[in-house]
Amino acid sequence: MRLNFSNVLVDAKHRLEKLKQDYDDFKIYDLGSFSLNYLTPKRGFDQQCQIVYGPDPRHQLDIFYSQVAKASRPLIVFVHGGAWSHGNKKDYHFVGQALASHGYDVVIINYRLAPDYIFPSSVDDLHLALDYLLQHQQQLNINTEKLVLMGHSAGAFNIMSVLYRQDMPVALADKITAVIGLAGPYHFDYKNDPLCADAFDQELPYPAVMPYYFVYPNQIKHYLLIAEHDQIVAESNAIDFYAQLKYHRNHAEMVIIPHTGHLTMIASLASLFQPFFNTQSEVLRVLEDALSPA
pLDDT at residue 14 in the model: 67
In the predicted model, what is the mean pLDDT of residues 108-120?
A: 99
Question: Residue 123 CA to chain centroid, in angstroms?
Answer: 11
Task: Let me know if residue 198 belongs to a domain.
Answer: yes
Residue 257: in which H helix or E strand, if any?
strand 253-257
Task: Let me know if residue 120 belongs to a domain.
Answer: yes
Predicted confidence (pLDDT) at residue 230 exceeds the cutoff of 80: yes
Task: Let me know if residue 194 belongs to a domain.
Answer: yes
pLDDT in tens, 197-221: 999 999 999 999 999 999 999 999 9
pLDDT in tens, 251-289: 999 999 999 999 999 999 999 899 999 999 999 999 999
Task: Let me know if residue 131 belongs to a domain.
Answer: yes
Task: Write out the residue range of the structural domain in which residue 157 sits.
Answer: 28-291
Query: Distance (Å, rounded) from C-alpha 148 to C-alpha 66?
Result: 15
Of the candidates 209, 181, 205, 186, which has an alpha carbon nearest to the alpha carbon of residue 119?
209
Task: Let me know if residue 202 belongs to a domain.
Answer: yes
Number of domains in the chain: 1
CATH code where residue 108 lies: 3.40.50.1820
Task: Let me know if residue 207 belongs to a domain.
Answer: yes
pLDDT at residue 11 in the model: 65
Query: Distance (Å, rounded) from C-alpha 58 to C-alpha 54?
Result: 8
pLDDT at residue 44 in the model: 84
The CA distances from residue 175 to 149, 216, 228, 260, in Å, are 10, 17, 32, 32
pLDDT in tens, 139-176: 999 999 999 999 999 999 999 999 998 677 888 889 99
Predicted confidence (pLDDT) at residue 132 exceeds the cutoff of 80: yes
Residue 225: in which H helix or E strand, if any?
strand 221-227
Task: Let me know if residue 21 belongs to a domain.
Answer: no
Question: Residue 256 CA to chain centroid, in angstroms?
Answer: 19
